[in-house]
Amino acid sequence: MKFDTPAGTNPIDQLNVIGQPADRIDGKLKTTGTAPYAYEQHAAVPNPAYGYIVGAGIGKGRIASIDSTQASNSSGVIAIVTYENAGPLAKGEFYVARALAGPQVDHYHQAVAIVVAQTFEEARSAAHLLEITYVAEPGAFDLAAAKDSATPPPPAGFGPPPQTQTGDFEGAFNAAPIQIDQHYSTPPDQAHAMMEPHATIAQWNGNSLTLWTSIQQINWGVRDLAKTLGIRKEEIRLISPYIGGGFGGKGTILCDAVLASLAARHARRPVKVALPRPLMFNNLTHRPATLQRIRLGASRRGLITAIGHESWSGNLPGGRAEAATASTRLLYAGANRMTRLNLAVLDLAEGSAMRAPGEAPGMMALEIAMDELAEKLGIDPLQLRLLNDTQVDPEQPSRPFSTRQLVECLQTGAKQFGWHQRNASAGQRLENGWLIGIGLASAIRGAPTTASAARVRLDRHGTITVETDMTDIGTGSYTIIAQTAAEMMGVELDRVEVRLGDSRFPESSGSGGQWGAASSTAGVYAACVKLREAAARAVGFDPQTAEFSHGEVHDGTRHFPLAHAAAAGDLVGEDRMEFGDLAQRFAQQTFGAHFAEVAVNAATGEIRLRRQLAVCAAGRILNPKTARSQIIGGMTMGAGAALMEELQVDKRLGFFVNHDLAGYEVPVHADIPHQQVIFLDEVDPYATPLKAKGVGELGISGAAAAIANAIYNATGVRVRDYPITLDKLIAHLPEQI
């Protein structure tokens, strides 16, 4: 099926199941600890060996020698794999980092060996007996120091163009009576810090390889593993039914999958691998730091006449730039515009996608700059944003937004949050020794879709089974897919069984980029259309007029139980939803507004987040309960980015020092106050047949800036370098009033 015309009325619009706050159908398994994650496939692989990965001890250089004599003779050791016996290895299409170092070492903790033994403890013990000699070389580990060597990155398949220009930015900026020209920095690298570590069990059967692994994109994983190992995609099966968090950090295969595969081949038995936290931080991907410059020019009444955004980030050779300019291209009106990305070569672990790549760090700077412009103009920050709304793509005025309720989000949030209570003069509200402030920020995140397929089966008991290789990374995919099938086939939710995360199932969109929910449910919709046609014909009805409800098939006054359609055998519908050019003809985005209230201790600078509100317009909300969970998760990550998260780089040796959950601080329950989420009524017929978009990354876009603006409102101290910690405030706090 191809979606190339706006959606009309269809069975989804009944909203009997879709749009309802259904409990997660996998919730009981998760809360009782019985959901089998990648490392816990005991029934499928009852007697595996254990692999322990050894990371490089230098930040850049080469391996001079590896002596594995003692390790090989250690108790329980079955095999040791290094570059010397691994055979040729290529790289996949998404990540640029090599899974196995040798002889060159590209970054600290790049894998140099995997030791396989009968038990995990034996593998770990033997790994410490490897004698590896390195020759260290000078490396580049400091973005600020490498900034002047940065160049525009080549065009990539993800993110905005490296450079954009509309109108005469420089001329308009120089002529603007009101100007903002400021520099900002976002956290010096952030870790995904998901609960479930990267883990894989690998098993060979002749030339066929099966992996139970924690991965967001099954199709990318098959593609990239085949290319890395030099085998056919048809020889690989990936299974990933449950994932304990990804946030972009498990997009496709990484060293755990590659090295487990190599180890299993050498050991001639299944091997399971789980990465320790230090390797997750220094070996795998992370959100790279950015340095940003934003210039805004406006008329005296607040209309933006020039908007320019430049960003610098670093990566391994061939890696992508952090797309921090993405939101600036679409969020506000202004005839004269410029964005520019710059990429420096750094010898740190690979920088790649982390929740809302581009928008999250970009809006941390842009939305502070908007508040600074409002202050210089002497107008309310809310009014400045309302004044500069646009209903068309600012770079292509002939291209309207499919839906855009940014103004409604801002106005609804302001009313609900009590924006009128905000003191326009910063640093003036003191309560019991705490300075109180309120801040806001706009939110925007793309609403992409990608081809997705599914298979739907009806059996003689009236049970619907859905199969697709879509993954559930904690987002609720199982539930919204079940809701889609139940709505389309006219059955209760408990009559639907969903099977996910297996490369033998039809290829879906996978989880990532905020495209998973909209795309995967569209694929299920397409498969259900096929199944409805087959079921209608099986009972002698016209597929064009048959209706499905209350577990029955109806055609006029005639009706049969749905199960009767499969009396002679299971009926199967399988299809793939493909998308036409609607996304090119209409700008498709999700919008929102974030509000935050903070208290800052007037004596110590300690910051306490008191409340947060997000108002979102993201098409039809398929399940308000799971969608709310996604938004508050994003808000929490935004709080972490604003207040505490930062990987500390040892700029001499080239590694992240605080490479575990003891040293890398993330928000916990005590840090997070009351959070409220409001979804505006919206359907987007240009997005998918369900008229839905994604929400998973909208919740973080703008959340950090709202907190930063609240801190300024509380203290009068403008901090432009995240995270905002008390040491950046304490020397500048106002005298107690």
Element spanning 574, H or E: strand 571-579
Upstream peptide bond of 723 is cis (omega within 30 degrees of 0): yes
Tokens 């590209």 -> residue: 106
Strands 61-67 and 131-136: antiparallel
Neighbours of 498 (CB within 10 A): 24
**Distance in angstroms (rounded) separating the CA atoms of residues 271 and 246:** 23
205 within 8 A of 237, measured Cβ to Cβ: no
Of 487, 507, 697, 735, which one is the catalytic site residue? 697
**Distance in angstroms (rounded) separating the CA atoms of residues 381 and 702:** 14
**Distance in angstroms (rounded) separating the CA atoms of residues 172 and 430:** 41
Element spanning 416, H or E: helix 406-417
Three-class DSSP category at 509: coil
Tokens 């990318």 -> residue: 220
Tokens 């899974």 -> residue: 99
Q: Is 322 a catalytic residue?
A: no
Q: What angle do CA 343, 397, 157 make, to 5 degrees?
A: 30
Three-state SS annotation for 274-292: ECCHHHHHHHCCEECCEEE
User: C-alpha distances in angstroms, 46 versus 43, 518, 551?
Assistant: 6, 37, 41
199 within 8 A of 274, measured Cβ to Cβ: yes
Tokens 């972009």 -> residue: 248
Three-class DSSP category at 518: helix
Mark out the alpha helices in 179-325 (DSSP H runs): 218-229, 255-267, 277-283
Q: Which two tokens stand for residue 722?
A: 């995240």
619 DSSP assignment: B
Q: Identify the CA nearest to 543 among candidates 534, 551, 560, 576.
A: 534
355 within 8 A of 637, measured Cβ to Cβ: yes
Element spanning 321, H or E: none
**Distance in angstroms (rounded) separating the CA atoms of residues 521 and 8:** 17
Which DSSP string do the residues of 116-136 spell out, in sequence order? EESSHHHHHHHHTT-EEEEEE
Question: What are the φ and ψ backbone dihedral angles of 114, each rounded to 5 degrees?
Answer: -130, 130
Upstream peptide bond of 103 is cis (omega within 30 degrees of 0): yes
**Distance in angstroms (rounded) separating the CA atoms of residues 456 and 488:** 11
Helix, strand, coil shares of the chain, percent, nearest 5, are 30, 30, 45
Strands 464-467 and 558-561: unpaired
Three-class DSSP category at 308: strand
Question: What are the φ and ψ backbone dihedral angles of 99, each rounded to 5 degrees?
Answer: -70, -25
Residues linked to residue 17 through DSSP beta bridges, in sequence order:
none
Q: What angle do CA 664, 309, 394 make, to 5 degrees?
A: 125
Where in the sequence numbering do the catalytic residues fall?
A: 697
